[in-house]
Structure 1
């Protein structure tokens, strides 16, 4: 079953409204081909065990998404689906029994469907082969390949005979980084690292060519390089235009946050602001500069939203003063580099920016003034704000949570102190396996769940250095009642 244009379209006006549709990519065989000598070049800190990631961890993510977003595909069928565990038919985009949800969209399926078009197949194959330096004969061989198989090859880099013809793109599971939905626009991003060039190309072709997005092609924004950028001296990252989706948050219909980080440059943030203001997508953009360190990478690794008045935050980069807590031997010259800075621009008068003294003050302003919260703004701190657990648990994505609806978020089960902080703030905590059992047998209804942290297994998946906020590209969320 192919995915058609969706009647409800695309619309993401916030971070916490009920999630109705998103784009994901389930771990593919390329993830199991990352080798230690290339791991950092391919932006992985470690190698993962693919079968464990698929069967014991990511599959819970897919199942819980189905129960909340497309229950007709799974409820009452779980036993049958699990009986096919060895074949993994429900989860394989190239299998006839694949779920084919138009709410939990699988990137590989969308790619396969556009490749059915001969013209697109030829153009995209030529583009991929140019990026990867393939021979002309291999390019012709790929053009003649079945569309579903070709999609798999483009993602995994591997032919059916197990020959690797180019590198895998294991970061494709982090779908947010190469595109972000802002209201009814799509911002296609410019990843900082060469390892993500192919996935950027694939996403561009999907958004511009798949019928699901047909009505929004005029609303797809691409970040350009500055005019005559090729004349500028040097090719270091400080002079490049880069922006990744983990550094973009749609906190209200009129307000977007953009992080300047290890992966998003000031030039990238500047070009994004110009695009968003030029197309009247939002009224204001706040730039949040965090330390340019691998520990943090994106702003969604140091804070994400839980409810309109509740945020999970890493305190060491958030509080007034903005310095990162480090051992006493921190070098003086690192201080400016490690300072958090926040500046807000308004479309009506971008030359009169507003500054915030800390991330907490910004988030409080969003909760009260953008989202109309009448309750005190609360912060749940990584590691329960206790050293060294704050830093350890932030490294395993304690702050990178995905809201399925306001107050109901997905996070890793390994971050014990952060979990305790949620409990202290009055949240229920439930393991995903127990939740799925209750949803399947009717003991719980997804729509009735509130103020809950859903714990997801994470022994292997967390090694990829990204949580469920990273592993989601929301396409449609409900608006919030801003009069509440």
Structure 2
């Protein structure tokens, strides 16, 4: 396997995966900024790191190579020019250029080693870190008004979203929320400049400069020929259409893109919070995404008459559409929480549907979702549980916390 990225399914044996260990960015969460930074609570750093280390060890124990975003990012900035360019791009995207503190902040960031600079950018820069005598602007002197020059990036441990592996390439995503938009810049630099990827000319199916948002939690690689993408709170129909057009014109393996419309709300943030593939013919589903009659909008996108148009077919039957697209006689949709109204709502909130398949029929899930986990076992699925008291406070599960880079073919 020559390609540094190789993902043709959701369930092939996981060989290489990208994660991010939660860091000081979580200690820069304060109550009044929680909505802006997309958190509902403040995790306890010591324990969330222990839980994440347990998660990473679990993946290693199952034979996966675990790469860390923070390490790859600092290794990608291997010249002084790249380091300075990256600092400037982060400052520009953080709007530090608007308020006149750009130069001070750039000097401050470049005073660190590359590794520490990456860590500092991720954790955020507080106003009290810059010497008082260098502060010349009104807003700089008003720490109480807003404490940060650079906002922290507490969502970084959800490596699934800023980019998504599809085949031997990836989408580098424009993220919907301003709080997360800078995150995909790390992936752009890693793909372009890290020795592991730079010499392989990795195809980028859609880049972060596209005007409409899409996030990796909505992107599911169901087979070599079929991907599913959620039209959700975070991913727009326009971005999905552009990604489909690009895929059809730039490669010949993916033949169909299933655009699955899910309700637009915080609990159902991405498709993978309500629907994941766990075996050749088994999927988890949160019952509340379907109408009482079991209907939902699914659009099958295929190559159209020309480079700017798709053939689009509409269906209201997810199960039937999946069977046809994947060539299956039968498949099982396993309901989160067993379909019980209260249990499924509780366990879905704690990512009971957000399973990470590490090989066909073997999944990693949060231990707290015991009803869903037991149901998976009853369906013949091997469930490996990981700790979740603090990790789950960020509203993301094992699939959210992992970006597969290489999976074995099935």
Q: Tell me, yes or no, if the aligned pair for 1:315 and 1:381 is still in contact at 8 Å.
A: yes
Aligned to 1:42: 37
- Listed as ranges, the gaps of 5+ residues in structure 2 are 131-147
Q: Tell me, yes or no, if the aligned pair for 1:320 and 1:358 is still in contact at 8 Å.
A: no
Rounded to whole Å, the distance in 1 between the matches of 2:25 and 2:298 is 38
Cα distance change of structure 1 residues 208 and 128 upon mapping to structure 2, 3 Å threshold: same
**Structure 1 residue 11: Cα displacement:** 0.6
**Structure 1 segment 98-117 matched on structure 2, within 5 A:** 103-117=65-79
Query: Can you list the C-alpha shifts for 1:52-87, whole angstroms capped at 9, x where unaligned?
Result: 1112x21110111111235xxxxxxxxxxxxxxxxx
**Structure 1 segment 442-457 matched on structure 2, within 5 A:** 451-457=381-387
Query: Can you list the C-alpha shifts for 1:81-102, whole angstroms capped at 9, x where unaligned?
Result: xxxxxxxxxxxxxxxxxxxxxx
**Structure 1 residue 165: Cα displacement:** 4.3
Aligned to 1:26: 21
Aligned to 1:397: 351
Cα distance change of structure 1 residues 267 and 352 upon mapping to structure 2, 3 Å threshold: closer
Rounded to whole Å, the distance in 2 between the matches of 1:459 and 1:9 is 34
- TM-score, length-normalised on structure 2? 0.88
Q: Tell me, yes or no, if the aligned pair for 2:48 and 2:390 is still in contact at 8 Å.
A: yes
Matched, 1:294 2:289: no
Matched, 1:355 2:314: yes
**Structure 1 residue 194: Cα displacement:** 0.6
Aligned to 1:145: 112
1:251 to 212, 222, 232: 222
Rounded to whole Å, the distance in 1 between the matches of 2:33 and 2:10 is 34
1:406 to 347, 356, 360: 360
**Structure 1 segment 6-85 matched on structure 2, within 5 A:** 9-55=4-50, 57-69=51-63
Aligned to 1:342: 298
**Structure 1 residue 162: Cα displacement:** 6.8
Identify the range of structure 1 (358-367 vs 306-315) with the bigger mean alpha-carbon deviation: 358-367
Q: Secondary structure at the match of 1:176?
A: coil
Cα distance change of structure 1 residues 347 and 136 upon mapping to structure 2, 3 Å threshold: same
Rounded to whole Å, the distance in 2 between the matches of 1:203 and 1:351 is 29
Query: Can you list the C-alpha shifts for 1:414-470, whole angstroms capped at 9, x where unaligned?
Result: 1122123123323xxxxxxxxxxxxxxxxxxxxxxxx31111111111111001111
Q: Tell me, yes or no, if the aligned pair for 2:24 and 2:123 is still in contact at 8 Å.
A: yes
Q: Tell me, yes or no, if the aligned pair for 1:69 and 1:104 is still in contact at 8 Å.
A: no
Rounded to whole Å, the distance in 2 between the matches of 1:353 and 1:106 is 39
**Structure 1 residue 319: Cα displacement:** 6.1
Query: Can you list the C-alpha shifts for 1:225-259, whole angstroms capped at 9, x where unaligned?
Result: 67xxxxxxxxxxxxx61100111111111111111
Rounded to whole Å, the distance in 1 between the matches of 2:294 and 2:263 is 9
Matched, 1:120 2:96: no
**Structure 1 segment 196-235 matched on structure 2, within 5 A:** 196-223=180-207
Aligned to 2:388: 458
Cα distance change of structure 1 residues 258 and 404 upon mapping to structure 2, 3 Å threshold: same
How many residue pairs get matched? 383
Aligned to 1:443: none
Aligned to 1:379: 333
Rounded to whole Å, the distance in 1 between the matches of 2:172 and 2:396 is 20
Cα distance change of structure 1 residues 218 and 382 upon mapping to structure 2, 3 Å threshold: closer
**Structure 1 segment 143-292 matched on structure 2, within 5 A:** 143-158=110-125, 165-223=149-207, 241-280=212-251, 282-292=254-264
- TM-score, length-normalised on structure 1? 0.75
Query: Can you list the C-alpha shifts for 1:317-374, whole angstroms capped at 9, x where unaligned?
Result: 1467457xxxxxxxxxxxxxxxx3111011255654222323222333344x1xxx56
Query: Can you list the C-alpha shifts for 1:263-308, whole angstroms capped at 9, x where unaligned?
Result: 0112221221222122125211111111111120111111101100
Aligned to 2:287: 315
Aligned to 2:102: 135
Identify the range of structure 1 (404-413 vs 270-279) with the bigger mean alpha-carbon deviation: 270-279
* RMSD (CA atoms): 2.2
Cα distance change of structure 1 residues 320 and 351 upon mapping to structure 2, 3 Å threshold: farther
Q: Secondary structure at the match of 1:462?
A: helix
Aligned to 2:136: none
Rounded to whole Å, the distance in 1 between the matches of 2:219 and 2:402 is 13
**Structure 1 residue 197: Cα displacement:** 2.2
**Structure 1 residue 390: Cα displacement:** 1.2
1:419 to 365, 373, 379: 373
**Structure 1 residue 131: Cα displacement:** 2.1
